[in-house]
Chain A
Amino acid sequence: MRERFYATMADLLQTDATTALVLADIGPLDLVAGTPAARRVVNVGIREQAMVGVASGLAMAGLRPFVHTYAPFLVERAYEQVKLDLTHQDVGAVLVSIGASFDAASEGRTHQSPADVALLSALPGWRLHTPGHPDEVEALVRAAARTQDRQYIRLSTQVNPDPVPADGSIRVLRPGGSTLLLAIGPTVAAAREATADLDVTLACTVTPFPLDGRALRRLADQHDRVVVLEPYLEGTTAPEVAAALRGRATAVEYVGVGRDEQRRYGTPADHARLHGLDAAGIRARLLREAPVTPGPARRASRSRSR
């Protein structure tokens, strides 16, 4: 994904004079070197607060800034700058991170920010994308270059074998029984493996914020259990799902990155297993007895107990 992002940026920088790339000593510092477009690759050194402030100023001057570094430095270290310099000023920018959740497992907690999507989802006017394939990255980056809004594109080293349309929609990959498994971004590969021989509907989206609520509502009407696979902090997507399913008696479960610090190094695969986000973990969750669906009988028993 990272390589595709850089190649797409190189093309955009050279074909669109309003595109700028803001870096903080991490990433393709020499992208388009030797071309006139190199002026619009702006490296601020190791200064993430200034990185976002500078991006705000570039946007005010009429440029379309893409801002790129490790997720914790981009979203958490500079969160007030994201809130005020971009959101409160109401200027546009595209934040593109690497180091999704536990991609940097061996680096430890300092290089991990599974809460990035939750934090950005607390700010108004952001579209948050968690692509699972390089083709999706290219489509998202090219589309973002043509708008003036605020978007977050979360690159990951966990890649699905096949791309899906990165158009904000929820797509059904395989229709099935009474359980709907909604796999977000890079969780699709493990979801496919986990459900190969299960009678489960598998759907996916690249864009959890805003979620394609209309499609989720329609699908929920055909299922009585929804399991959401989140490549970020578990429960992050809950407000979007709740808003989409309001008024429906559907059991919803979330499988995502846990809140506790694991204090383990190792590989992303180790951490996927730890959080139940690998195929075996997903399968075990799906086969676990579904919680009782809220319905008239349960409500009646509750009222008796009062």
Chain B
Amino acid sequence: MPASTDSPPLTQGLPAALLRNLARVTGDEKHDAAAHSTLDTLWVLYEHVLRLDPWESRDRFVLSKGHGPASYYAVLATRGLVPESWLDDLAGFGSRLGHHPDRTLLPPVEVSSGSLGHGLPIAVGLAKGLDLVGLPSRVHVLVGDAELDEGSNHEAIALAGRWSLGRLSCIVIDNRSATLGWPGGIAARFALEGWATTDVVASDHDALRRALSTSGDAPHLTVVRTAPKGS
């Protein structure tokens, strides 16, 4: 991904090892926030929020917005969930790391994604299923603001609210890329369906951590504002 010259630099507070791994995936030392809108959120999730031990009752993370997964792979490698050497071959014929992640090739990946609008409905089922089998795990699902265009998300937003899936956390990365926009805001659409909502900016890692750790009787939405796409 080429870095545009006038976009802001990547947020402070990210470890050098993570940025080094990101460069290994992208083959590019220069990073800009717009090209890596999910990096802060993924790092805070994996560093401070997700409980992955014991693995059987781990928190689940569903990357619904599967395109541009360089940040995801870099975070997984930095957290020791994927060998760093795998980062050097992105989407080669023998690579386990594609332009969209495949859970059968990359075990820490919970859900294979790429086509938009699939992660949130699956995450709703996963949260419902974990309720039914009695595991304590939380379920986090990351979607893009443009991905919300897909109608399947709105089926899932309503269901999660009506089912009071308190263990479900949806993260919308808002880089203002939805072509027709969301007049009145993204959070309002979830709130109407009974979700608790929080707005944060990507650079505020403490606020991100607090928002992503919030759980109650209702599903929780965190809208993460990032540099606008193409900025």
Query: Which residues of A pack against B, CB within 8 Å?
Result: 18, 20, 39-40, 42, 44-45, 47, 49-50, 52-63, 80-81, 84-85, 88-90
User: Mind listing 9 A-B residue pairs with CB under 8 Å?
Assistant: A47-B155, A49-B117, A50-B155, A60-B111, A61-B126, A81-B118, A81-B152, A85-B122, A88-B112
Contact A89 B112 (CB under 8 A): yes
Contact A54 B159 (CB under 8 A): yes
Contact A84 B115 (CB under 8 A): yes
Contact A53 B129 (CB under 8 A): no
- Bound-state CA distance A258–B158 (Å) is 39
B16 at the interface (CB under 8 A from A): no
Contact A63 B111 (CB under 8 A): no
Most chain B C-beta atoms within 10 Å of own C-beta, residue among A42, A53, A88: A53
Contact B159 A89 (CB under 8 A): no
* Residues in B neighbouring A62, C-beta threshold 8 A: 129, 133
Query: Which residues of B pack against A, CB within 8 Å?
Result: 60, 103-104, 110-112, 115, 117-118, 120-130, 132-133, 135, 151-152, 155-156, 158-159
Contact A54 B128 (CB under 8 A): yes
Contact A20 B104 (CB under 8 A): no
Beyond A60-B110, A84-B118, A90-B104, whether A53 also contacts B132 by CB under 8 A is no
Contact A54 B132 (CB under 8 A): no
Beyond A50-B156, A80-B115, A84-B112, whether A61 also contacts B121 by CB under 8 A is no
Contact B125 A89 (CB under 8 A): no
Q: DSSP class of A's interface residues: helix, strand, loop or mixed?
A: helix
Q: DSSP class of B's interface residues: helix, strand, loop or mixed?
A: helix
* Residues in A neighbouring B60, C-beta threshold 8 A: 60
- State the Cβ distance, B149 to closest chain A Cβ, in Å: 14
Beyond A40-B132, A53-B152, whether A58 also contacts B125 by CB under 8 A is yes
* Residues in B neighbouring A54, C-beta threshold 8 A: 121-122, 124-125, 128, 159
Contact A57 B118 (CB under 8 A): no
* Residues in A neighbouring B152, C-beta threshold 8 A: 49-50, 53, 81
Contact A60 B118 (CB under 8 A): no
Candidates A50, A52, A55, A81; contact of B159 at CB < 8 Å: A50
* Residues in A neighbouring B118, C-beta threshold 8 A: 53, 80-81, 84-85
Contact A61 B133 (CB under 8 A): yes
Contact B128 A57 (CB under 8 A): yes
Q: Which residue of B lies closest to A81 (CB)?
A: B118
Candidates A20, A39, A50; contact of B121 at CB < 8 Å: A50
